[in-house]
Structure 1
Amino acid sequence: MSYTAHPSSIVDAGAEIGAGTRIWHWVHVSAGARIGERCSLGQNVYVGNDVLIGNNVKIQNNVSVYDAVTLEDDVFCGPSMVFTNVYNPRSAVARKDEYRRTLIKRGATLGANSTIVCGITVGEYAFIGAGAVVNRDVKPYALMAGVPARQIGWMSQFGERLELPLRGDAQTRCCQTGLTYLLRNGSCILEE
């Protein structure tokens, strides 16, 4: 075994887990899950069967990653944040054939107690604030907050707020890395 798992965790036979991944107390990883290298699954995490988790993903305590969710490399899931997989659940109505796929792209941060409603894409390096409820696609580098979440700014790959307007054309540098970010046609991009 090239990963470490606490004795209280359950890793079902068939789960694929990459080297250097750490699985903490009371975690359950389902048989069909695929988890990359150097990930950390905090206390009381659940990972469903139809879940793909990239490399270097950090999932903090009390997060359930349900079927139809994909987390690309370097995603951070804050404590007690929530994924859904059925848009209109009812206890008396079976809807397992109606799961909506959710994609969290590389480097995105999902803050503590945030909720990601199923069927959306969160763009690269987007930053979802604590407690936000995201019910529509999120642009790369967007800073989102509120219920429902709305864009309030832009974030760098380093996790620093960028001095850019929400619209128009502009450019700025990350104060930590010196990398230049351009705002063009309502999208933030890293200058190459």
Structure 2
Amino acid sequence: MEYTAHPSAVIDDGAKIGRGSRVWHFVHVCAGAVIGENVSLGQNVFVGNSVIIGDKCKIQNNVSVYDNVTLEDGVFCGPSMVFTNVYNPRSFVERKNEYRNTLVKKGATLGANCTIVCGVTIGEFAFVGAGAVVNKDVPAYALMVGVPAQQIGWMSEYGERLDLPLSGEAVARCQHTNVSYVLSGNQLRHVGI
């Protein structure tokens, strides 16, 4: 084994877990899951069958990553945040053939207790605040808060708020890394130092 797993973890035969990953107490990883290298699965995490988790992701305690969720490299899932996979569930209606795909792109942060409604895409390095409910696609670098989540700003790759309007033409520099970002319309892009 090239990863570390606590004895209380249940890892079903067939699950793929990359080198250097850590699987903590009471985790359940289903047989079809694909987990990258250097991933941390905190206490009481569940990973479904049709789940892909990229390298260097951190999934904090009490998170269930349900079928049809894909996390690209470097995604942070805060404690007790929630993914869904059925848009309109009813206990007496079988909807397993209606799962919607959810994609969380590279470097995104999903804050503690936020909810990601299935079928959305969270852009690269987006930042979803604690307790927010995301029910629509989120642009790259966007800072989202509230119920339902609304964009209130932009975040750097370092995780610091940038001094930019929500839309227009502007340039900002991350105070910690000196990296520049260019806003054009309602899209932000990283342009380097």
TM-score range, shorter chain: over 0.9
Q: SS at 2:168's partner residue? A: coil
Q: For 2:50, give the aligned amino acid.
A: D
Aligned twin of 1:190:
190
Superposition pairs of residues 19-168 of structure 1, within 5 angstroms: 19-168=19-168
Q: SS at 1:87's partner residue? A: coil
Q: For 1:182, give the aligned amino acid.
A: V
Q: Provide the rounded CA distance (Å) in 2 between the counterparts of 1:160 and 1:117.
A: 25
Q: Provide the rounded CA distance (Å) in 1 between the counterparts of 2:104 and 2:162.
A: 21
Aligned-pair identity in percent equals 69
Matched residue count: 192
- Cα deviation for residue 52 of structure 1 reads 0.2
- Cα deviation for residue 149 of structure 1 reads 0.1
Q: For 1:188, give the aligned amino acid.
A: L
Q: For 1:96, give the aligned amino acid.
A: K
Q: Provide the rounded CA distance (Å) in 1 between the counterparts of 2:191 and 2:57.
A: 25
Q: After superposition, what is the alpha-carbon deviation per residue over 1:38-57, rounded to whole angstroms, capped at 9, x for unaligned?
A: 00000000000000000000
Q: Provide the rounded CA distance (Å) in 2 between the counterparts of 1:180 and 1:160.
A: 13
Q: SS at 1:97's partner residue? A: helix
- Cα deviation for residue 185 of structure 1 reads 1.6
Q: Provide the rounded CA distance (Å) in 2 between the counterparts of 1:56 and 1:131.
A: 24
The answer for unaligned runs of 5 or more in structure 1 is: none
Aligned twin of 2:18:
18
Q: Provide the rounded CA distance (Å) in 2 between the counterparts of 1:185 and 1:164.
A: 12
Q: SS at 2:87's partner residue? A: coil
- RMSD of the alignment, in Å? 0.4
- Cα deviation for residue 191 of structure 1 reads 1.0
Please, what TM-score do these two structures have when normalized by structure 2?
0.99
Please, what TM-score do these two structures have when normalized by structure 1?
1.00
- Cα deviation for residue 168 of structure 1 reads 0.5
Runs (4 or more) in structure 1 with deviation over 3 Å come to none
Q: SS at 1:191's partner residue? A: strand
- Cα deviation for residue 36 of structure 1 reads 0.1
The answer for unaligned runs of 5 or more in structure 2 is: none
Aligned twin of 1:170:
170
Q: Provide the rounded CA distance (Å) in 1 between the counterparts of 2:186 and 2:113.
A: 28
